[in-house]
């Protein structure tokens, strides 16, 4: 950490601090990993400091991503160019949390990291007998396994809750519940998870199970389940990627959530500014029946590793059997259709909505992808080498979802420059809002998401008129442009637009149960 013990002066920038409402030209002094002072230009002594000219740039807190599955150094580099200084895996989470964190520390991270306690992996352990290693790979490898998806007995629910409680004491930041991947588990289990969260004072991050419009035989409507659990238990319930879970039923779901919030129910929502999603091809909702329920065609799916757009259900089922953990793009809303685009924006602009990326792991297109002539066999399209031996720029034969590289800069482009939302409001949705959601359970978050003396020196500086996403579905690892400076823990990671690939200043953000 070359810069962590030194002074850095960002001079003459437009400092935006959403918590205090500050939006004015200021100098910012950083020392030993913290913001030492914020003052009018020229008031802070520059002697001995490394000075960076921030004139014409916005200086803001680094973005806090509550929903990032790109738990690798190379993936973090993409997120840094998007302004992310803290990337947390809270929807899927991990078991054991300590193993996931130990791996990140061993490999080194350029942004801060943290994990929730994974309900899905806890179920896989209790009901499926797996031995989890800690990380998103556990979920990918077993996502299509039948045992973990079934309803649990009372005794099994108690065992699942015990695993989650253990992970909260092991540094877990709340509980991640991937309910949509096990659509018929009992609602009483979800309420038991919420009760544990309320007792431990942590949030629950939920990928909702299907809505009643999609699956009439669902044990409970996915959106209503989240709101009802918050009402009954008082736990902080967070609705992950509401727009991709709700699709064209967004108006009904936003009305439900909005009424609950007006009643003081502790429920929050997040969204990313893309119409297409990405998930594992073996997900329960991507079989032929699940697609039909959603009004989707098999041609709405693209296999990430090969770039193949699927043409028939036989091919879909072959790939689901061959490697159910492989990643696939899924068209939920079409951004080029005005009605779909408006619904997507309505979630991003919902009062209090948080911007979160759902950033995905990097997939190597050169990996073994079964052809139509091959018999289905369990293969893997994941590339461990990308985690252990990252390269920059990321090779062109690597794919992910463009949201991995462009969520936050695209949000600025769409919400601020496009829809006219005040820049301080857009920045607040990605900084102080997620910090406040977490700080009750994670006291160190009280020092993040702000540009104030004593806070952590996690900062970004960019030109608000030009900063933008550049990643597309075809060029998904193209980094965002316009981030001139990114500071993580007092260390300059992007300096004048150039990435320091040797930076390893990321530290674990851990729960305090």
Query: What residue numbers bound the domain in which 297 lies?
Result: 280-330+371-399
Q: What is the pLDDT of residue 368?
A: 47
Give the closest residue to 283 by CA, choosing from 144, 122, 183, 93. Answer: 144
The predicted structure's pLDDT at residue 5:
57
Q: Which residue has the higher pLDDT, 351 or 513?
A: 351
Rounded-to-integer distance, Cα 464 and Cα 397, Å? 31
Q: State pLDDT tens for residues 276-327.
A: 999 999 999 999 999 999 999 999 999 998 899 999 999 999 999 999 999 9
Q: 359: closest CA among 240, 245, 446, 494?
A: 240
CB count within 10 Å of CB 100 equals 30
Q: How many beta carbons lie within 10 A of that of residue 247, not counting itself?
A: 21
- Mean pLDDT confidence for 456-471: 98
Mean pLDDT of 480-500: 98
Work out the mean pLDDT of the chain and round it to a whole number.
94
Q: Tell me: pLDDT of 438 over 60.
A: yes
For residue 442, report the phi and psi dihedrals to the nearest 5 degrees. Answer: -130, 90
| Dihedrals phi, psi of 327, to nearest 5 degrees | -90, 145
Is a pLDDT exceeding 50 seen at residue 409? yes
pLDDT of residue 367: 58
Q: Tokens at residue 319, please?
A: 């790939």
Give the per-residue pLDDT at 2.
47
Percent of the chain with pLDDT over 70: 94
pLDDT tier, 6 (very low <50, low <70, confident <90, very high otherwise):
confident
| Among 313, 311, 284, CA closest to 299 | 311
Tens of pLDDT, residue by residue over 174-225, are: 999 999 999 999 999 999 999 999 999 999 999 999 999 999 999 999 999 9
Nearest to 357 by CA among 49, 69, 48: 69
pLDDT of the residue at 380: 41
Does 494 reside within a domain?
Answer: no
pLDDT at 42 over 70: yes
On whether residue 243 sits in a domain, the answer given is no
Per-residue confidence (pLDDT) for residue 390, from 0 to 100: 61
Closest CA to 265 of 296, 220, 304, 223: 223
Span 446-454, average pLDDT: 98
Would you list the DSSP string of 414-458?
IIIIIT---HHHHHHHTTHHHHHHHHTT-GGGGGSS--STTSB--
Q: Which helix (H) or strand (E) holds 88?
A: strand 84-94
Is residue 123, in this structure, part of any structural domain at all?
A: no
Query: What would the mean pLDDT of 106-134 be, rounded to a whole number?
Result: 97
Residue 118 predicted with pLDDT over 80: yes
pLDDT digits (tens, 9 = 90+) for 230-253: 999 999 999 999 999 999 999 999
Residue 287 within a domain: yes
Cis peptide leading into residue 96 (ω within 30°): yes
Between CA 170 and CA 97 the distance in angstroms is 6
Alpha-carbon torsion, ordered 473, 475, 481, 486, to 10 deg: 90
Place of tokens 């259709």: 337
Distance CA 78, CA 424 (A): 23
DSSP 170-225: TT--SEEEEGGGSTTS-HHHHHHHHHHHHHHT--EEEE----TTT-TT-SS-HHHH
What is the signed CA dihedral for 494, 500, 502, 505, rounded to 10 degrees? -10
- Domain count across the chain: 1
**Angle value at C-alpha 109, between 51 and 362, nearest 5 degrees:** 120
Q: What is the pLDDT of residue 371?
A: 46
Q: Which residues pair with 329 in a beta bridge?
A: 278, 302
Asked if residue 464 belongs to a domain, the reply is no
pLDDT band at 513 (very low <50, low <70, confident <90, very high): confident
Among 4-8, 48-52, 143-147, the least confident range? 4-8
Residues 438, 173 contacting (CB under 8 angstroms): yes
Confidence band for 364, pLDDT divided at 50, 70 and 90: confident
Is 230 among the domain residues? no
Banded model confidence at residue 365, pLDDT cuts 50, 70, 90: confident
Confidence of residue 64 (pLDDT cuts 50, 70, 90): very high
Count CB-CB contacts under 10 A for residue 32.
Answer: 13
Mean pLDDT of 48-72: 97
In a domain, 44, yes or no: no
In angstroms, the Cα distances linking 244 to 115, 307, 452 are 22, 21, 35
Residue 40 has pLDDT above 70, yes or no: yes
> DSSP for 377-409?
-----B-HHHHHS--SSPPTTEE--THHHHHHH
Residue 349 main-chain phi, psi, to 5 deg: -100, 0
- The CA distances from residue 254 to 227, 245, 412, in Å, are 11, 12, 22
381 versus 157: which is more confidently predicted? Answer: 157
Confidence class of residue 511 from pLDDT cuts 50, 70 and 90? very high
In a domain, 454, yes or no: no
**Which of these, 142, 99, 87, lies nearest to 120 by C-alpha position?**
142
């Amino acid at each position: 950490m070359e810069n962590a013990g030194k002074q850095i002066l960002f001079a003459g920038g437009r400092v935006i601090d959403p918590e205090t409402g500050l939006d004015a030209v200021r100098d910012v002094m950083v020392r030993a990993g913290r913001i030492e002072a914020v003052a009018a230009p020229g008031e802070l002594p520059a002697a001995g400091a490394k000075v960076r000219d921030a004139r014409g740039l916005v200086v803001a807190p680094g973005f806090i991503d509550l929903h990032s599955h790109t738990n690798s150094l190379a993936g973090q580099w993409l997120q840094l160019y998007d302004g992310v200084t803290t990337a947390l895996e809270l929807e899927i989470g991990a078991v054991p949390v300590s193993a996931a964190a130990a791996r990140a520390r061993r490999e080194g991270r350029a942004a801060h990291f943290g994990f929730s306690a994974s309900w899905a992996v806890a179920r896989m352990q209790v009901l499926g007998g797996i031995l989890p290693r800690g990380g998103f790979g556990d979920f990918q490898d077993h996502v299509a396994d039948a045992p973990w998806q079934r309803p649990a007995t009372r005794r099994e629910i108690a065992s699942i809750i015990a695993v989650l409680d253990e992970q909260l004491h092991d540094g877990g930041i709340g509980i991640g519940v991937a309910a949509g991947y096990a659509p018929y588990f009992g609602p009483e289990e979800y309420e038991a998870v919420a009760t544990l969260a309320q007792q431990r004072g942590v949030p629950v991050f939920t990928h909702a199970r299907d809505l009643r419009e999609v699956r009439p035989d669902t044990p409970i409507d996915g959106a209503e389940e989240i709101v009802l659990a918050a009402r009954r238990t008082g736990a902080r319930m967070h609705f992950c990627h509401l727009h991709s879970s709700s699709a064209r039923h967004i108006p009904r779901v936003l009305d439900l959530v909005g009424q609950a919030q007006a009643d003081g129910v502790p429920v929050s929502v997040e969204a990313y500014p893309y119409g297409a999603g990405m998930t594992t091809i073996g997900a329960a909702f991507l079989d032929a029946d699940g697609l039909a329920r959603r009004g989707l065609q098999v041609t709405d799916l693209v296999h990430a590793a090969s770039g193949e757009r699927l043409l028939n259900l036989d091919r879909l089922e072959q790939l689901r059997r061959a490697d159910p953990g492989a990643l696939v793009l899924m068209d939920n809303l079409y951004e080029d259709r005005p009605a779909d685009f408006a619904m997507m924006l309505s979630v991003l602009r919902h009062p209090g909505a948080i911007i979160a990326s759902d950033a995905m792991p990097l997939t190597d297109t050169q990996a073994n992808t079964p052809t139509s002539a091959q018999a289905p066999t369990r293969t893997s399209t994941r590339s461990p080498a990308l985690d252990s031996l990252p390269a920059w720029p990321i090779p062109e034969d690597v794919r992910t979802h463009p949201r991995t590289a462009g969520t936050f800069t695209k949000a600025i482009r769409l919400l601020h420059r496009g829809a006219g939302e005040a820049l301080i409001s857009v920045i607040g949705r990605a900084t102080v809002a997620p910090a406040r959601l977490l700080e009750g359970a994670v006291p160190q978050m009280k020092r993040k998401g702000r540009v104030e003396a004593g806070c952590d020196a996690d900062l970004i500086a960019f030109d608000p008129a030009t900063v933008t996403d550049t990643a597309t579905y075809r060029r998904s690892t193209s980094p965002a442009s316009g981030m001139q400076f990114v500071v993580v823990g007092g260390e300059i990671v992007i300096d004048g637009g150039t990435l320091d690939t040797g930076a390893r200043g990321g530290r674990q953000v851990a729960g305090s149960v």
